[in-house]
Amino acid sequence: MPIGTSKAGVLGGGGVPGGCQVFNSPGCFVVPAGVTLSSSVSGSGAAGNAGNAGNPGGTGAGGSGGPGGNGTTSGIPNPKVSSPRTLGGSGSSGGGSGTSGNPGTSGTASSVFCLTFPGGTAGTGGNAGTQGSSGNSGTTGNSDNTAIFVPAVCGFSSTGSPGVSGGTIGGGSSARGLIVSFVGIAPTLITYRYASGGSGGGGSGDTNPGNNAAQNNVFSCRGNGGNVGGGTGAPASNATAQNNTFNSTALYRASNPGLPGFDANSPGAGGGGGSGGQAIGGSFNNVYATAGAGGGGGGRGSAGNPGNPGNAGACGTPTVYNCVSVVAGASYPVTANGPVTISWDPQ
């Protein structure tokens, strides 16, 4: 007992000592006998809840199909028919950025004696994820700049420019240019000489890769676009020099001047590659030709980037109430979502 302090000063006039009770979970406070005034009631509510993570970004834009390579007329005496290369199809746009995460909720308040202790403020949502990287465009087809002599013999075959690869991710490769000749059945013995520009590779779909262009003995077959939405490659272009073996009459015609690659039609998918150009000309039994390769298919865009985690909520706000009247012996419910401390002085 402090010197100079009476017993009544420590225990109070009625002999009730001071004290406190702390609640960390819900319960009931029973007021000690003889206590009618709480010197202070302090506490806080629960911490605010964390915000939600940001939503991921959309798929990146698809790459365009590569244009085909040219078949030049340089070195061809008296060029008769030529078709320029065609362009690749366009890739689809991507899905854009994601959206920010939703905020959390405020922390639940604590209470006692009809007094409220606020919870913490809610955490903010995480930042949105960014759009994925764009797919690469298909490779431009190789041009054929060197004309070759095409003899009037059955089964002659020579490659023009080699095919090229598609763009990443998943673009199909293109077909090479091709120059061939063969002789028809007697008695006409018509000689056919073909210059065929390579077909385009298929653009990647947003799920499956595009198909490679297929090569055969005369004309190549274009690559189909991958699922979902990849653009189909352009079909092969070709030109023909046709003449009767017994005379010098020659007919030149462009049987297929070439088409552009097809556009993608699903977000993030790649476009189809274009067709190679070709050229053919000369005179009777002195025919020359060139044939460019097709363009590669466009690649698909990468998946979007994830959003950032949500931010933590704030702690409950400490609050103090002084000189709170209570009824001795009464029971009061305590809602403690954070620490609640009830104190009283000697009475």
DSSP string for residues in 329-344: T-EEEEB-SS-EEEEE
Q: Are residues 190 and 210 in the same domain?
A: yes
Could you tell me if 131 and 97 are in contact, meaning their C-beta atoms sit under 8 angstroms apart? yes
Q: Are residues 330 and 215 in the same domain?
A: no
Q: Are residues 175 and 65 in the same domain?
A: yes
More confident residue, 269 or 281: 269
Distances (CA, A) of 314 to 46, 133, 159: 9, 36, 72
* Overall number of domains in the chain: 2
Q: Is residue 92 part of a domain?
A: yes
CA atoms within 13 A on the CB side of 345: 12
Q: Are residues 297 and 153 in the same domain?
A: yes
Q: Are residues 28 and 85 in the same domain?
A: no
Residue 155 predicted with pLDDT over 60:
yes
Q: Are residues 135 and 123 in the same domain?
A: no
Q: Hey, how many other C-beta atoms are within 10 angstroms of the C-beta on 200?
A: 50
Backbone angles phi, psi at 9, to 5 degrees: -70, -30
- Which tens digits make up the pLDDT trace of 197-248? 999 999 999 999 999 999 887 788 999 999 999 999 999 998 888 876 555 5
Q: Is residue 56 part of a domain?
A: no
Q: Is residue 102 part of a domain?
A: no
Q: Which of 89-103, 178-192, 330-344 has the lowest mean pLDDT?
A: 178-192
Q: Is residue 156 part of a domain?
A: yes
Residue 249 predicted with pLDDT over 80:
no
Q: Is residue 105 part of a domain?
A: no
CA atoms within 13 A on the CB side of 59: 20
The DSSP line for 4-57 is: T--HHHHHTTTTPPPEEEEESSSEEEEPPTT--EEEEEEE--PPPPPPPPPPPP
- Residue 96 pLDDT: 87
Distances (CA, A) of 192 to 91, 130, 280, 303: 38, 56, 12, 50
- Residue 24 pLDDT: 96
Residues 324 and 318: their CA atoms lie apart, in Å, by 17
Mean pLDDT of 106-128: 97
- Residue 192 pLDDT: 84
Q: Are residues 210 and 324 in the same domain?
A: no
Q: Are residues 22 and 84 in the same domain?
A: no
Q: Are residues 123 and 135 in the same domain?
A: no
Residue 188: pLDDT band (50, 70, 90) is low
Residue type (1 letter), 54 = G
Q: Is residue 101 part of a domain?
A: no
Q: Are residues 123 and 136 in the same domain?
A: no
Which domain range does residue 271 map to?
Answer: 61-96+131-301
Residues 54 and 70: their CA atoms lie apart, in Å, by 48
Q: Are residues 116 and 174 in the same domain?
A: no
Residue 3 predicted with pLDDT over 80:
no
Mean pLDDT of 314-339: 96
Q: Are residues 174 and 297 in the same domain?
A: yes
Residues 180 and 217: their CA atoms lie apart, in Å, by 8
